[in-house]
Amino acid sequence: MLSALGGCSDDETATSSGFTTQATGTSSSGSSMTSSGTGMGGDLFGTSSSTGGMGGAPVDCDDDKTDGPVQWSKGYGDGAGQYVHGTAVDGAGNVLVTGSFAGTVDFGGGPLTSSGGNDVFVAKFDANGQHIWSKKFGAAQEQSGRSIATDAAGNVYVTGNFIGSVNFGGGALGSDACCFFEDMFLMKLDAQGNFVWAKDFGDGAAQTARAVVSDAQGNIVMVGDFQGDVNFGGGVISAAGVGGIDIFVAKFTSAGAHVWSKAYGDAADQSAEEVVLDAAGNVIITGNAGGVIDFGTGPLTATGTKAALVAKLSAGGDAMWASLYGAEARGLGVDVDAAGKVAVAGAFKGTIDLGGGSLAGGGSNDTVFVALFDAQGKHTWSHAYGSGSAQGTSVAIDGKGKVIVGGTFSGAIDFGGSKLTSAGGFDAFLVKLDSVGCHVFSGQFGNEVYQGTQTVTLDASGNIVIAGNFAGTADFGAGVLTAAGDDIFVAKFGP
C-alpha cells in the first residue's frame, strides 16, 4: 500500500537522520553549485515529519499534501517469465508498455506466445487500463524491448536488442549470429500499432539500446552503449580501446533518417541508462562512467570503478554541461520539467556528493539517491535513502515541480514518512517529494519474494503510472495481484 503523508515544517533544520547536507561545489562546466536537501520516508497514508534545510536556512515545505490514490492495477504473465522495461503515456492518457517475455502473456487482446526464447512485446491500454492493442515480435533467439516513446500524433517508437533475426513487419533484420552478441533495433508503429519502419544497428561486438525519447516534431533520440563499431547512418563511430564499452547518443527524424550521432568514452566502461528532452529539444542523459569521459566540456575522471553521470547536449548534439558523482554510483532515471530543472535518481555505494555535500550510503549495499539540478546543472537539493539494499530506478517531475521516484528495496527505508520495511525479499516502492525535496507520500508493494518498480511515467494531469515486475503477490490498493512466476504489473495512481 502507499504510505504516510508528511513533510518539512517551517522551523525544521537539517539533521543526519534526514540525509540532508549543505555545501558548494563545481560541475565540469565550471559553474558554482549551492546545495540543500531534506529527508523522507513512510508507510503510505500515515502522518510524519521530516527534516530539511535550504542553504542552511529552514525549508518552507509545500502544504499541498495528496496521497496518490490508486486508480487501477493489473498483472500479466504465466510461469515462464515476463519483464517490463519501458512505459510511455500519450496525449490522450493511453498507456504504452514494452519489454520481453517467454511463454504466453495476455494483455487483454488474446494470448501472445513467444517463438522460442524471449520475444518483444508492445501493448497499449486506455487511461482506465483497458486493452486497446498488443503485439509481439520475435524469433527463436533473444529479443527484448528496452524503451518506448510516443509523439504528438500517437505514433509509437520502441528500441531494444536482439540476437539472430527479427521481423517487425518490414522484412527480417539480422544481427551477427556468430558470437551471440546483441544488436540494437529502433522501430516505429502508428497509433493503431501498425508497422511504419524499423532499423537495426551493430556489428560482431555487443551493442545495447537502453532508452528512446521523442520531441514535439517527432524527432527521436536513442541512447545506450556499445563495443566495436556502429553506424547509425552518419558514418561509423567506434568504441575506444579493445573490449571497452562506450556511450552513444543518436538522433533521427520521425521518418528514421539520421540527424547526428556521437560516441563518448575511453578504454574503461561507460553506459547511458536514460534520456529526456527539454522544451527546446536539448538532450539530458544519465548513466555511469569509469575512466575518463569528455562530452565536450572537458575531461571528467571517475574517482572509483564507476561514477554516476549527468550530461546535457543541445538539440544539435553540442555539449552544454556534464558532471560525474560518486566513486561507485549509477544514474538510472532522469526527467526534466518545463523550466529545465533536471531530476536524477539512481544508486550508490559508500558515499556520494551530488553538489550539496557528502551523503552516506549503506556500506557495501546499494543506496538510493535523488537529486534536483537547475537548467545549468547547478545542484538544488539531493538525498540518500536506505539501510539495506535499494535502487531508485526511475524518476518523473510533474507540473508543480514535484519529484516522483520508483524503485526497489530490501531491509528498511525511510523517505520522511514512517519507515518502510520489506516483507523479506525486495519490495517495490513509490515516493513523491515536493519541489524543495520534502516528503509528500511514499509506499511499498510486495510480499516476501521480489517486487520492483522499473518505470515511472506521468500523464498530462499528473497521474502516476508505474510498471515493474513481481513474484508472489502485490497489492497496490486496488486488490491483490498474484503472479504465476515472474510477472508484469502496471498500476495508475492519482497525482
DSSP class of 51: -
Cα(471)–Cα(451) distance, rounded to whole angstroms? 6
pLDDT of residue 178: 55
Is the pLDDT reported for residue 15 higher than 90? no
pLDDT tens-digit profile of 290-327?
Answer: 999 999 999 999 999 999 999 999 999 999 999 999 99
pLDDT of residue 312: 99
pLDDT of residue 103: 96
Is the pLDDT reported for residue 33 higher than 50? no
Question: Domains along the chain?
Answer: 5-493 (2.130.10.10)
Q: Which residues pair with 121 in a beta bridge?
A: 99, 136
**What is the sign, positive or negative, of the torsion defined by CA atoms of 361, 366, 371, 375?**
positive
pLDDT of residue 66: 56
pLDDT of residue 174: 80
pLDDT of residue 4: 38
Whether residue 340 contacts residue 374, with contact meaning beta carbons closer than 8 Å, is answered with yes
- Nearest Cα neighbor of 427 from 459, 482, 473, 384 is 473
- Chain centroid to CA 42: 22
Cα(470)–Cα(96) distance, rounded to whole angstroms? 19
Whether residue 328 contacts residue 304, with contact meaning beta carbons closer than 8 Å, is answered with yes
Question: 363 pLDDT band (50/70/90 cuts)?
Answer: confident
Q: What are phi and psi of 18, to 5 degrees?
A: -90, 5
pLDDT tens-digit profile of 418-450?
Answer: 899 998 889 999 999 999 999 999 999 988 899
Is the pLDDT reported for residue 53 higher than 60? no
- Exposure class string for 183-192: b at 16+ Cβ within 10 A, else e: bbbbbbbebe
The x, y and z cell numbers of residue 28, run together, are 565540469
pLDDT of residue 61: 54
More confident residue, 21 or 251: 251
Span 168-173, mean pLDDT? 94
Question: 23 pLDDT band (50/70/90 cuts)?
Answer: very low
pLDDT tens-digit profile of 473-487?
Answer: 999 999 999 999 999
pLDDT of residue 32: 26
Give 267: exposed, middle or buried? Use CB within 10 Å, 0-12, 13-18, 19+.
middle
For residue 20, count other CB atoms closer than 10 A to its CB.
30
State whether residue 18 is helix, strand or coil.
helix
More confident residue, 411 or 13: 411
If you write DSSP's letter for every residue of 274-285 in order, what string do you get?
A: EEEE-TT--EEE
Span 197-201, mean pLDDT? 97
pLDDT of residue 116: 84
Share of the chain above pLDDT 90, in %: 78
Provide the residue type at 49 as one letter: S
pLDDT of residue 7: 42
Claim: this prediction has a pTM higher than 0.95:
no
pLDDT tens-digit profile of 62-77?
Answer: 544 556 799 999 999 9
Cα(232)–Cα(259) distance, rounded to whole angstroms? 9
Question: 44 pLDDT band (50/70/90 cuts)?
Answer: very low
Average pLDDT, the chain: 87
Provide the residue type at 22 as one letter: Q
pLDDT of residue 72: 98
Question: 176 pLDDT band (50/70/90 cuts)?
Answer: low
Is the pLDDT reported for residue 118 higher than 80? yes
Place of cell 539530458: 284
Non-local CB neighbours of 54 within 8 Å, separated by 6+ positions? 22, 36, 381, 436
Place of cell 539501510: 387
Rg of the chain on CA atoms, in Å: 21
Cα(228)–Cα(306) distance, rounded to whole angstroms? 21
Cα(5)–Cα(415) distance, rounded to whole angstroms? 10
pLDDT of residue 244: 87
pLDDT tens-digit profile of 122-166?
Answer: 999 999 999 999 999 998 889 999 999 999 999 999 999 999 889
Cα(184)–Cα(144) distance, rounded to whole angstroms? 10
Cα(28)–Cα(300) distance, rounded to whole angstroms? 7
If you write DSSP's letter for every residue of 365-377 in order, what string do you get?
A: S-EEEEEEE-TTS
End-to-end CA distance of the chain: 16
pLDDT of residue 58: 36
Q: Which residues pair with 120 in a beta bridge?
A: 100, 137
Q: Rounded to the nearest 5 degrees, what angle is found at the Cα of 494, between the Cα atoms of 489 and 495?
A: 120
Place of cell 503485439: 135
Cα(344)–Cα(206) distance, rounded to whole angstroms? 27
